[in-house]
Chain A
Amino acid sequence: SQQGEEDPQALSIQEGENATMNCSYKTSINNLQWYRQNSGRGLVHLILIRSNEREKHSGRLRVTLDTSKKSSSLLITASRAADTASYFCATHLPMNTGNQFYFGTGTSLTVIP
Chain B
Amino acid sequence: DAGVIQSPRHEVTEMGQEVTLRCKPISGHNSLFWYRQTMMRGLELLIYFNNNVPIDDSGMPEDRFSAKMPNASFSTLKIQPSEPRDSAVYFCASRPDRMQNTEAFFGQGTRLTVV
Q: How many chain A residues have a CB neighbour from B under 8 Å?
A: 26
> Any chain B CB within 8 A of the CB of A45?
yes
A45 touches B103 (CB 8 A): yes
A2 touches B101 (CB 8 A): no
> Any chain B CB within 8 A of the CB of A44?
yes
Q: Bound state CA distance, A42 and B35, in angstroms? A: 11
A103 touches B50 (CB 8 A): no
Q: Bound state CA distance, A73 and B94, in angstroms? A: 25
A98 touches B42 (CB 8 A): no
Interface of B is mostly: strand
> Any chain A CB within 8 A of the CB of B104?
yes
From B95, B101, B107, B109, give the contact of A101 (CB < 8 A): B95
In chain A, what residue has the closest Cβ to B31? A99
A48 touches B45 (CB 8 A): no
What B residues does A1 contact at CB under 8 A?
Answer: 41-44
Q: Of residues B48, B91, B104, which shows the largest number of chain A Cβ atoms within 10 Å of its Cβ? A: B104
Q: Bound state CA distance, A99 and B4, in angstroms? A: 20
Give 1 or 0 for each of B79-103: 1 = CB within 8 Å of chain A CB. Answer: 0000000000001010101001111
> Any chain A CB within 8 A of the CB of B56?
yes
A48 touches B107 (CB 8 A): no
B101 touches A48 (CB 8 A): yes
From B31, B43, B44, B105, give the contact of A45 (CB < 8 A): B105
Chain A: minimal CB distance from B24 (Å): 14
Chain B: minimal CB distance from A74 (Å): 15
A-to-B contact residues, CB < 8 Å:
1-2, 30-31, 33, 35, 41-45, 48, 50, 88, 90, 92, 95, 98-106
B-to-A contact residues, CB < 8 Å:
4, 31, 33, 35, 41-45, 48, 50, 55-56, 59, 91, 93, 95, 97, 100-109
Pull 25 A–B residue pairs with CB atoms less than 8 Å apart, ordered by A.
Answer: A1-B44, A2-B44, A2-B59, A30-B100, A31-B100, A41-B108, A42-B107, A43-B91, A44-B106, A48-B101, A50-B101, A88-B43, A90-B104, A95-B100, A99-B97, A100-B55, A101-B31, A101-B45, A101-B48, A101-B104, A102-B45, A104-B42, A105-B42, A106-B42, A106-B43
